[in-house]
Amino acid sequence: MSTTLRKYDVFLSFRGIDTRRSFISFFYKELDQSNIRTFKDDKDLESGDRISPELIRAIEESRFAVVVVSVNYTASPWCLEELVKIMDLEKEKKIKVMPIFYGVNPSDVRWQIGAVAEHFEKHKDRYVPEKVRSWIQALENLASISGNCSCEWEDDSKMVDEITDKISKKLMIGKPKRSGSKLVEIDRHMKNIRRKLDLNSNKSVRVLGIWARGSNCRSALAKFVYDNISQHFQSHCFLESMKRVSQDRHMSHLRDEFLGKIQGENRRVLLVVDDVNKLEQLDALADDFNNFGQGSIVIITTQDKQLLNSAKIDLVYEVELLRFKNVRKLFRQVAFNERVESVLFKATKWLGYLCGESGYEKV
């Protein structure tokens, strides 16, 4: 299966002189540690009024734009041009925008008062009216979106945690619910696996082994991981029930199925190979890993630790006990209650009959 790649989860729009070494540095680090792929321009390019093609591409390839409006944000024509592009895409529903008002009042931004008004007085002397109006409209549209204001938080770390968590949850919206969501502590497992995968890396192909007992739970975890990270890849493929597949078909058929789903060479690929029980199953696919592009990931799930060692897979996530939430226990409890209620009902009816309270007439 092939998918249109969104290269970044988040595009950060900010004024460097205000926040680069403080809030943005801290915020970017938190996003990176949460494996949220983030574009942060590391250059303060203020020459000229037009933003670079690189920045335009980065905005277009992002799912979210986090706009950090600080004291001097509106003084920068560069930032304002960036904002116009972001808000145009937001209007077309091609990007979601999250404003952060850092050290400024949102109403000052919306109505261009205070320092914002002073900045625009200078802009009006330097730029044509149409351009200034486009900047004002973009600011008004931004300020109409519910966002975060630093004045409402006692410290930046709590605000950063809240925003990062919100982005993480929004990235999950729209994905089909899988049985993996019923696994005990699935969020903890997902967080640990994402940390091992390091989705921000552009290194050569990395292989992660997932070892756990219980094929159903292991497969559910693998599918859950696949569903939640596949959007980061140009091509992705989930090969399920390898044990069963290899019994039914020759290995060459397996490779043909795999190559049919992974389209083209040097693409960023996610491949999940589930329930592997023989080294030959990996050997049938391994030669093609060299055709994967940078940042590609292969995930192997098995209940055989020795197989991972034999395949020289060093990156392993081990789960000693993996189980579904107590649905069965709940089901048994409900069934038990129903049986008890049934017995009590019959006993009551029989007792009522003996006592002359049943609906039947006495003979």
The pLDDT tens digits for 103-136 are 999 999 999 999 999 999 999 999 999 999 999 9
Three-state DSSP state, 11: strand
Domains of the chain, residue spans: 8-168, 179-319, 326-363
Q: What is the mean pLDDT of the chain?
A: 81
For the stretch 165-189, pLDDT in tens is: 899 888 764 444 455 567 778 888 8
Same fold, 8-168 and 179-319: yes
Give the CATH H-level superfamily of domain 8-168: Toll/interleukin-1 receptor homology (TIR) domain (3.40.50.10140)
Tell me if 43 sits within 8 A of 98, measured CB to CB: no
Q: How far apart are CA 123 and CA 274, in angstroms?
A: 59
Helix (H) / strand (E) containing 270: strand 269-273
pLDDT of residue 47: 47
**Local confidence band at 283 (pLDDT 50, 70, 90 cut-offs):** confident
pLDDT of residue 100: 97
Question: What's the residue count for the chain?
Answer: 363
CATH number for the domain whose boundaries are 179-319? 3.40.50.300
For the stretch 9-37, pLDDT in tens is: 999 999 999 999 899 999 999 998 887 88
pLDDT of residue 340: 47
Tell me if 276 sits within 8 A of 242, measured CB to CB: yes
For the stretch 317-340, pLDDT in tens is: 998 776 766 544 434 544 555 454
Of these residues, 54, 81, 82, 320, which one is catalytic?
A: 82
Q: How far apart are CA 160 and CA 121, in angstroms?
A: 33
82 is catalytic: yes
Q: How far apart are CA 239 and CA 17, in angstroms?
A: 49
